Amino acid sequence: MRAKQTKRIKRIKQLLCFLIVMSVTNVVAQKMFHLQSQAGVQLVSVNGKKYKIDVAGTKIKTRYPKFDALIFLTDAANSNELIVCNFKPDSSYAIAGACCGSLDIIPNSKFKCDSLKYWDPEKDADKIQNHFLDKPFLSVKTAKTPKDSVYAWHSDAACLTEHKLIGTEAWALGVPPKCFYWSNITPILFFKTDATSDLPSNKDVAEFLQKANVIELATIYLRLFDNQKFMITFDEESRTVKIAYDIITK
């Protein structure tokens, strides 16, 4: 009788150990995403760790629900820029070529669309662009009441995009507009105008926006993989930019 009880207890312990191991394995797996390349072998940095990405791809740990930091380290138009991403656990993404020698990242699920087999790259360019573009809704504000006049600008030189004087009340920038090319990486630039400042003026931005003495304060690059709302907050004192999921702004 005792021998049967001992065997039974032993089996229960083994089962519990197995369940614990499986539970831990599942938790770890849920924090990983898959990244591959459709643009040749690419060297990237994700959260400070370097990866060589080819067509087969590799598993990478994500900080989700916190944000990830990605840098393209290969020779691309947008290389060496720190791009804030929200890679989802158990999801798959592909590095793809975008406009003018730059790179983009597309969820692999978007390539599994039957319509892509029939759309013509020229005649159906608008449909293809709309399919691959995500549409995050962005709001922008300052952490405290600014001492200077601080502007925020979705700095897309392909469009005459809006720039606005910002403060502690959120500005609903909305879905960043895209024009004749598609790329999901969105730069938001913060600047002020000051003729007395010792800091160098950004002449290109000043000419494009037709403003004098533009002093660039900070820029954040974003690649957001869903159509949720996000709040971008600029701190004037530290010249840093933070992003968070926006659950308040209507």
CA dist 104 and 184 (Å) reads 7
Residue 119 pLDDT greater than 50, yes or no: yes
For the record, the structure tokens of 170 come out as 């959120």
Q: Which pLDDT score is estimated for 183?
A: 80
Inter-CA distances, 180 with 13, 81, 83, 107, 163, Å? 63, 23, 22, 21, 20
Please give the residue that has the higher pLDDT: either 7 or 87.
87
For 204-248, the pLDDT digits (tens) are 777 777 788 888 999 999 999 988 999 999 999 999 999 999 876
Rg (CA), the chain: 23
User: What is the pLDDT, as a whole number, of residue 250?
Assistant: 57
> Residue 29: its pLDDT value, please?
47
Whole-structure pTM over 0.75, yes or no?
Answer: yes
- Tell me if 72 sits within 8 A of 57, measured CB to CB: no
Mean pLDDT of the residues in the chain: 84
pLDDT of the residue at 6: 52
Question: 86 falls in which pLDDT band (50, 70, 90)?
Answer: very high
pLDDT at 14 over 80: no
On whether the CB atoms of residues 45 and 70 are closer than 8 A, the answer is yes
Average pLDDT estimate for 158-183: 84
SS3 137: strand
